[in-house]
Structure 1
Amino acid sequence: MRTPDKLDRQTFLKTCGAVCLAAAGLPVLVSSCRSVYYAQKPVLKGKTIELSRSEFEQVSKKGVTTLRNYVLVELPGQTFPIYLHRTGEAFTAVLMKCSHQGNELNAHEGFLTCPAHGSEYDAQGRVTEGPADRDLTAYRVRADDQKIYILIA
């Protein structure tokens, strides 16, 4: 059996990354290559952030439209982004600031993790894994047919 002469970059990084994590005794997580999506046109009106429902639409290269499960919302001057999660027609919004030591969280499908100490939160901001012992700051959300409103006051 002949071995390949070249190893593509993606395979190399996945293989080396998994080996390094395993060698360090850390769990190896397999994830897709999807990037995190930031809302393109959020608008702050008083104490409410407004964004179009279309921010959740994702059009593939083949022209197929699917819906994202979450979008990050960031405005100029905002210290931490907001994780806006969609479950069917319901939305939840939480500040991506770890309640343990204030680090910015990493967003995933349906949960958030803290890269500093490993705390985890569900999409509603509830602690599912410590060392954090307090839930995240959550915001009220309402929506109509066209827009989503995050009430930050």
Structure 2
Amino acid sequence: MNQSRRNFLSAACTLCAAAVLAPAALAAVNEEDDDKKPKLKVEDGKVLIPAALIAEKLNSFKVKGLPRPLLLIKNPDAYDAYLLKCTHMGVAVKIDGDELACPAHGSRFNLQGGVIKGPAKEPLTRYKVNVVTDGVEVIVA
């Protein structure tokens, strides 16, 4: 085998290995980030989100007891909460600027949970939110 072919095969194998290992490395980094976030959970049909965690207009939280992340939107005079679960196939919806996007089939939702673009036909699940002394309480049951 000549040297240039050997170099090519070596480079190709290195690229393949990197392609296989990169997702695992990224997942490990994301898990570390998740480990730093406080653990939220459903208790008695409610999720208490401490005020200190509500820093941005759009706040996404993983909640033990919910199938997908919870989105809490901080408005000037109120809060809105939605389950980040696409109503088409149940895939986790991601925040994309001022919209919510499903990476699986391209459904898009506005910040009121309404469908902008299908294939989803139903709006996102919306939850009632109560402001309490130490944060907000999202009623999920």
TM-score by length of 1: 0.62
Note the alpha carbon deviations across 1:104-149, whole angstroms, 9 max, x for none. Answer: 1112343210111111111221111112111011111111353101
Q: 1:88 to 1:109 in 2, by over 3 A?
A: farther
Aligned mate of 1:47, from 45, 48, 62: 45
Name which of 131, 134, 137 aligns with 1:146: 134
Work out whether residues 93 and 124 of structure 1, in 8 Å CA contact, stay in contact via their aligned partners in 2.
Answer: no
Amino acid at match of 1:42: L
Aligned to 1:123: 111
Alignment of structure 1 residues 24-35 onto 2, 5 Å: none
Residue in structure 1 matched with residue 94 of structure 2 by the alignment: 106
Q: Which amino acid aligns with 2:140?
A: I
Task: Deviation per CA, 1:72-104: give whole Å up to 9, x if none.
Answer: 122234321111111113111111111111111
Aligned to 2:70: 82
Structure 1 distance, partners of 2:59, 2:37, is: 6
Q: TM-score, normalised by structure 2?
A: 0.67
- Secondary structure at the aligned position of 1:117 is classed as coil
Classify 1:44/1:90 alpha carbon distance in 2 versus 1 (closer, same or farther; 3 Å): same
Deviation at 1:42, TM superposition (A): 2.7
- The amino acid of 2:46's aligned partner reads T
Runs of 4+ aligned residues of structure 1 deviating over 4 Å after TM superposition are 36-39
Amino acid at match of 1:48: K
Identity %: 27
Q: Which runs of 5+ in 1 are unaligned?
A: 1-35, 58-67
* Cα offset, 1:56, TM superposition: 1.9
Whichever structure has more helix as a proportion of its residues is 2
CA contact (8 A) 2:93 2:102 kept: yes
Q: Which has the larger radius of gyration?
A: 2
Number of residues of Structure 1 aligned to a counterpart in Structure 2: 108
Structure 2: how far apart are the matches of 1:40 and 1:89? 25
